[in-house]
Amino acid sequence: MTEAPHIFHNPRCSKSRQTLELLQQKGIEPEIIRYLETPPTEQELLHILDLLGCQPRDIMRTKEPEYREQALDNENLSSEALVEAMVRTPKLIERPIVVANGKAVIGRPPENVLTIIE
């Protein structure tokens, strides 16, 4: 590995804690980004989406009240509008996301991270 992996982490989320623990069990100390406190910029989120090979809606937490409150279920919203919503309201971003070795994966289940670190 050339640089330490990054984990977009919410310590209150069990899957996020399990993913971090799995990385640490493998001897990897990732850079922990508490994305609720330090949300990614639009550019960072677009880069993550590119690495994931996903569209913005694919990584949105659609069951969060903020999703409905901001009418983000409107199919006519552009990708740019969805990214802006996630930057403005990072609680909407699925977690955890691990970036390593020029790849990214959502740690649901936590074992997904093994595909990009081994």
Q: How many CA atoms lie within 13 A of 101 on its CB side?
A: 9
13 is catalytic: yes
How many whole angstroms separate alpha carbon 38 and alpha carbon 63?
A: 22
Catalytic residue among 2, 13, 33, 72: 13
Is residue 25 within a helix (H) or strand (E), and if so which, with residue range?
A: helix 14-25
Active site residues: 13
